[in-house]
Chains A and B, each alone.
Chain A
Amino acid sequence: QKEVEQNSGPLSVPEGAIASLNCTYSDRGSQSFFWYRQYSGKSPELIMSIYSNGDKEDGRFTAQLNKASQYVSLLIRDSQPSDSATYLCAATREGAQKLVFGQGTRLTINP
């Protein structure tokens, strides 16, 4: 079983719609969760972090965490073509230096 699992996509969403990206993790000791965005040919950049159950909003982005279900999601409202990228989910135990990544979901926003 993969430690962090994502649907590789591609996920196609029309411009202006909500894009929903999902991630599950197997290590119940994971405490911190991150979403990174990676444009083609570029390095990953952090867009959201979440540490406690519930929702966390930052502009058009909302991260959701459910530790009981071992599930993390990222919602992108009012999707723009510039949101087209691969989104990487990552998890780590508290105080640990090992950040475990999923394989990423490729998102395409269609104008």
Chain B
Amino acid sequence: ETGVTQTPRHLVMGMTNKKSLKCEQHLGHNAMYWYKQSAKKPLELMFVYSLEERVENNSVPSRFSPECPNSSHLFLHLHTLQPEDSALYLCASSHKSSGANVLTFGAGSRLTVL
């Protein structure tokens, strides 16, 4: 247990469904991230929230919609996804401070889009 909890761990959805991924961190961190991990590709940064404000949106399609209601919780709302969106979605958190940015990852949510 890393202190970053993601649910659900596995999700299968059709292209017309709406679902959400949830992330919760118990580390007192003030920045949270969504990364996408596809086979044989580098981890892709999707969104960054710092002090509950979105500071990075890495050209992610609008069918992915993040929400950060407080510094401990992060959601990724999914709608009308495509099969190529099937991947492991990793949440991470860090303590924003000057210098390096050390991430703690959750276990991930494995998404399959049919």
Q: Which A residues contact B (CB, under 8 angstroms)?
A: 2, 4, 8, 31-32, 34, 42-46, 49, 51, 88, 92, 94-104
Interface size on B, residues (CB 8 A): 27
Beta-carbon contact of A43 and B41 below 8 Å? no
Beta-carbon contact of A97 and B99 below 8 Å? no
**SS class, residues of chain A in contact with chain B:** loop
Q: How many A-B residue pairs have CB under 8 A?
A: 64
Q: Please give, as numbers and ranges, the residues of chain B lying within 8 Å of A43 by CB-CB distance.
A: 2, 90, 105-108
Beta-carbon contact of A46 and B48 below 8 Å? no
From B42, B48, B99, A101 is in contact (CB under 8 Å) with B42
**SS class, residues of chain B in contact with chain A:** loop
A44 and B101 in contact (CB under 8 A), knowing A97-B50, A101-B43? Answer: no
A44 and B43 in contact (CB under 8 A), knowing A32-B100, A92-B101? Answer: yes
Question: What would 4 more interface pairs be, CB under 8 Å, given A31-B100, A32-B101, A46-B104?
Answer: A43-B108, A98-B48, A103-B40, A103-B41
- Give the residue name and chain of the A residue nearest to B31 (CB): A97
